[in-house]
A and B are shown apart, each in its own frame.
Chain A
Amino acid sequence: MSKVCIVFDRIRAEEKMLEKEALNLGYDTLMLDAKITQVNTDTKKQDLDLGDVVLERCVSYYRGLHFTSCLEFLDIPVINKFQVANVCGNKMFMTLLLKKHNVPTPKTYFSFTSESATENLEKTGYPLVIKPVIGSWGRGVMAIRDKDTMDAVCEIRDITDSPHDRIYYLQELVNRPPRDIRVITVGDQPVAAMYRKSSGGFKTNVALGAEPELCPLTKEIEDLAVKASQAMGGGILGIDMMEDEKNGLIVHEVNNTVEFKGLSRVAEKNIPKEMVEYAINYIRK
């Protein structure tokens, strides 16, 4: 019987649901805290109990990414793969890969100093949305509607000056209904979708209070989700789409360690079960 390992750094409802479903399906299940696990260059697969397949679920992107590189070093199958996690965790890499694979995505501008970003914005015109290349839950995402706001953002970034503060990711502000669509894909197959309705501002993150509501999986949504998932390299993903009034459905984000607590309450399919079954089938291939 295969053993499923769920790697975490903070146990959320999602990790508990995955553990429960893996146990219900009859698999040996192991919860492993990345924070207290040690690996070195001489570590062998048999030195650690990591099961037959790992679902990497760290809430810290960098911790999860680096832990994934250790797992792949040890030849342990991990979902998602390092390359997928690496790309999805960085909005710039993700946007470039979506565009490269002809997945419709908002027009996005990249600059590498505050001066250059300001110059580009003056040329392009307001408003644009600035997003940190690393980060989630809508943090640091702001609509830049005038030069004063841009100057303030640049000043703060020049003071904090973390490596990613020098990377400017500015995106068109898409005209759309006050909601977006989150599709969960498992092995390039959409399993459920929800609308995330804005709770007032232009952001639609559930973490900020957006209300989740079941969204029917139309063929158009399914096709676009499959295309976006394949562009990223597959695995278990959360594909975020907007209903652009001008261009129809567009993908603006793909998430690596997707949260599904809200959607799982209303989805027809058992999302964590689909994920565990995918992991098991992944090592049977």
Chain B
Amino acid sequence: MNCPECDASMNIPEDASVGEIVSCPDCGADFEIAKKDGSNVELKQAESVGEDWGE
């Protein structure tokens, strides 16, 4: 599929699961896998790192 940001080709690993983050190799934008049904993948903008993120 193509990057929603820059339209570059993105390779989503077959074993990637919903909730995982994938990055565009061209523009570096991060996306979260919102839905996955076989090879049909829906992406949404990943959350940016929050002040309260961590361990």
Contact = CB atoms under 8 A, between A and B. Distances in A.
Interface of A: 8-11, 16, 31, 33, 59-63, 89, 132, 134-137, 139, 162, 207, 238, 255-259
A62 B47 CA distance: 14
B51 interface: yes
B52 A135 contact: yes
A238 B53 contact: no
B38 interface: no
A137 B55 CA distance: 8
* SS class, residues of chain B in contact with chain A: loop
A59 B53 CA distance: 5
B55 A258 contact: yes
A10 B19 contact: yes
Contacts of A11: 17, 19-21
Nearest to A65: B52
Which 9 pairs of residues, A with B, have the shortest CB-CB distance?
A: A136-B54, A255-B55, A61-B52, A11-B19, A11-B20, A62-B52, A136-B55, A59-B53, A137-B54
Contacts of A256: 55
A10 B55 contact: no
A60 B46 CA distance: 13
A155 to B, nearest CB: 19
Interface residues on B, range: 10 to 19
Contact of A61 (B17, B18, B54): B54
B54 A10 contact: no
Most chain A CB within 10 A, of B47, B53, B55, is at: B55
Contacts of A137: 53-55
B24 to A, nearest CB: 17
Most chain B CB within 10 A, of A11, A16, A33, A238, is at: A11
A38 to B, nearest CB: 16
Interface string B1-41: 00000000000000001111100000000001000000000
Nearest to B46: A10
Nearest to A136: B54
A74 to B, nearest CB: 22
A136 B50 CA distance: 10
A31 B53 contact: no
A275 to B, nearest CB: 14
A59 B50 CA distance: 9
